[in-house]
Structure 1
Amino acid sequence: MAPLKSLQQEYPLVDSVFQAFCASHGIFSVEDFLLYDVDVLISSAHKQSTSQRLNQGINQLLSIIDALHRPLLTGLDLLEDSKRNKHALSTGCQGIDALLEGGLRRGQLTELVGPSSSGKTQACLQFATTVAKKYMGSVIYLDTCNAFSAQRIAHFVGQSSDPVFNDQADHKPLQKVLDRIICYSVFSIFQMFDVLHQLEINLRSEMFKSDCQVRLLIVDSVSSLITPILGGSGPQGHALMISVGFLLKKLAHEHNVAVLVTNHMVGGDSGTCKPALGESWKTVPHVRILLSRDLESNTCTFSIIKHPSLASGRAASCTL
């Protein structure tokens, strides 16, 4: 959902005065408004000299949210939508595609978890390359660790068995792929919200042409942005984390985009490792995949931790 300032032109009640009032309560977007206690906000508005106008603004936001509610869907509706729109995107690795019954599913949020140096970024780069060249669509890549490498993209393109992309006379195949991968350097959770909100606006306005639709959204890594805000005793960090998950899943479902995020591992009970971000985040991804690497053979193993239709524990290996 949009920042409040983007609503002013269409909804005059959400004016600068109302936005300033909301900002004083840490509310800058519709998501922030949804997470805030409306009764507390109304009570605070009553204490202001412009209380009537502020209450009208609150009611205006509530009506906007009501209008955005999608109609209830039957199981048959969901099945038809899945068959028609939620296709799988190949990862470029036959073993992983077989493991996931086709690859990364459009409309779903897939999380790739693994320890440092397990190959998470390499997997993201290979998947981005495959989608950009095979489906001729756009890939949005949110790079939070300065890890994006055009050189690795070039390497993966050079490994392609597709003759179209190995024919150097065919209008520079590497340039075609790189033109379709749109990379943003994002170093804070608020920057990420700005990028995602703008992406949502662009998708709604059909800014991306039909022959270059956004197929894949990658966040590498989501945990590096969320972990710093989870400290302290306040609830804000947790609320922001849930908002990120909600927005990513909303983009995936409403615009038929495959979303891939990476997450690191932290120490758990009895010295074992577990995915970071805790129990609340665990419910966010549709699919969770554990990535591990054998340093001697340089083989990466992908194991299903969570999947809506496939059994946990299944695994496949490949070399990145």
Structure 2
Amino acid sequence: MPSRPPPRQTLTIADVREVLSVGCQVLDACLRGGVRCGDITEFVGESTAGKTQLCLQLLLTLQSQYSGGANALYIHTEGHYPGRRLQELAVVRRDALAAIGEPGSNNSFSIDHIFVEAIQTPDELLDFLKDRLPSLLHTSTKPLKLLIIDSIAALFRTEYDNTTAELGRRTKVLFQVASQLKKFAEREGAAVVIINQVVDFFEAADKDFQGQSQIGNLESMETSGRRVAPALGLAWSNCISTRIFLSRVGQVMTLDTKREGETAGSNKVEEPKSVVRRRMQVVFSPCLPPQSRNFVVTTLGLQGLRPAS
């Protein structure tokens, strides 16, 4: 009787997609190389968790990944565009590379190919994705590889009343926005990064279903000592491919003391001062295991902490 052939590993589309580095080897390792192109990745957390800082780091790191350059689009929905912080971060990171003799450091972290758009309402966002984004794609010969919305919750949290009809309309617009983003990501082979906020956690009647849908394999989502849940509920949770939770652990550490055996993942850490430890956790993803990494925010941006070996 003939023997069965050995099992073969199937290579899926998800296995061969490009990834965009977040600019830190330790955090990239948590994401298996970075943010995946062709998908919608959400980073969710409280206001001081480091979400916008991560966005700026992605915008800068993108340029160093493409020798011919690549475009990025940053959509901000509240406050002012953090252009000054972006410029400061570009200079500091460029100088850090030059200090260690990294080749091409003068050309890294360019801000020349970053488009910025201010959006105030959900309908305005939908119109932009349908009509103006296709036109933007034709204004440059460089590919648009990264689209960031910071943040999605800011658009939807006050636009609709708390009535059945209005909540239904909100869900409809959310699905339409998600559909446009998915089409763009798949068509252009680009990474779509969505920043989301958190709300206080309340026990649901259907606890098992709601918990699994929003927080994946985590027992709970906690930041700064309180339990939270992602804003926009289950409807939005079904629209994204990957959810990454950024939280404040609450422990203060001094970088140069290497507390608990942890060392910063960057080659250069200049601030011998106390900083708040934060954490990046994979909540759910079709291609990432449930894992986490601690990090700190310095003038160089987000820097992952390597655990003691």
Same fold, TM-score > 0.5, yes or no: yes
Larger displacement relative to structure 2 (226-235 or 110-119)? 226-235
Matched, 1:216 2:160: no
SS in 2 for 1:187: coil
Name 1:259's counterpart in structure 2. 192
- The 5 A counterparts of 1:154-173 are 154-158=87-91, 159-160=93-94, 161=97, 163=102, 166-167=105-106
Distance in 1 (alpha carbons) for counterparts of 2:193 and 2:38: 11
Distance in 2 (alpha carbons) for counterparts of 1:147 and 1:306: 31
Name 2:268's counterpart in structure 1. none
Partner AA of 1:123 in structure 2:
L
Task: Say which one has the larger Rg.
Answer: 1
2:44 touches 2:198 (CA, 8 Å); kept in 1? yes
**TM-aligned CA distance change 1:314 to 1:299, over 3 Å:** closer
Name 1:25's counterpart in structure 2. none
Looking at both structures, which has the greater relative contact order when contacts are Cα pairs under 8 Å and sequence separation is at least 6? Answer: 2
Deviations 1:10-36 (A, max 9, x none): xxxxxxxxxxxxxxxxxxxxxxxxxxx
SS in 2 for 1:288: strand
Distance in 1 (alpha carbons) for counterparts of 2:89 and 2:118: 21
- TM score, norm. by length of structure 1: 0.66
Q: Where does the alignment leave 5 or more consecutive residues of structure 2 unmatched?
A: 1-9, 204-225, 253-274, 303-309
CA-CA distance at 1:208 after TM superposition = 3.0
SS in 2 for 1:280: helix
SS in 2 for 1:308: coil
SS in 2 for 1:183: strand
1:107 touches 1:259 (CA, 8 Å); kept in 2? yes
Q: 1:299 aligns with which of 277, 290, 300?
A: 277
Matched, 1:89 2:67: no
Distance in 1 (alpha carbons) for counterparts of 2:86 and 2:235: 34
**TM-aligned CA distance change 1:196 to 1:132, over 3 Å:** farther
CA-CA distance at 1:165 after TM superposition = 6.0
Q: 1:312 aligns with which of 290, 300, 309?
A: 290
Distance in 1 (alpha carbons) for counterparts of 2:127 and 2:63: 24
Distance in 2 (alpha carbons) for counterparts of 1:191 and 1:256: 24
Distance in 2 (alpha carbons) for counterparts of 1:93 and 1:226: 32
Partner AA of 1:222 in structure 2:
I
SS in 2 for 1:112: strand
Deviations 1:264-299 (A, max 9, x none): 110122573100101111111111000013563233
CA-CA distance at 1:312 after TM superposition = 2.1
Equivalent pairs: percent with the same residue? 27
Name 1:272's counterpart in structure 2. 227
How many residues align structurally? Answer: 233
Distance in 2 (alpha carbons) for counterparts of 1:113 and 1:312: 15
**TM-aligned CA distance change 1:310 to 1:134, over 3 Å:** closer
Q: 1:191 aligns with which of 117, 121, 124?
A: 124
Partner AA of 1:225 in structure 2:
L
Q: Where does the alignment leave 5 or more consecutive residues of structure 1 unmatched?
A: 1-75
**TM-aligned CA distance change 1:187 to 1:101, over 3 Å:** same
- TM score, norm. by length of structure 2: 0.68
CA-CA distance at 1:194 after TM superposition = 2.3
2:242 touches 2:286 (CA, 8 Å); kept in 1? yes
Q: Which structure 1 residue ranges, 4+ long, deviate > 4 Å from structure 2?
A: 162-166
Distance in 2 (alpha carbons) for counterparts of 1:90 and 1:227: 30
**TM-aligned CA distance change 1:185 to 1:148, over 3 Å:** same
The CA RMSD over aligned residues, in Å, is: 2.4
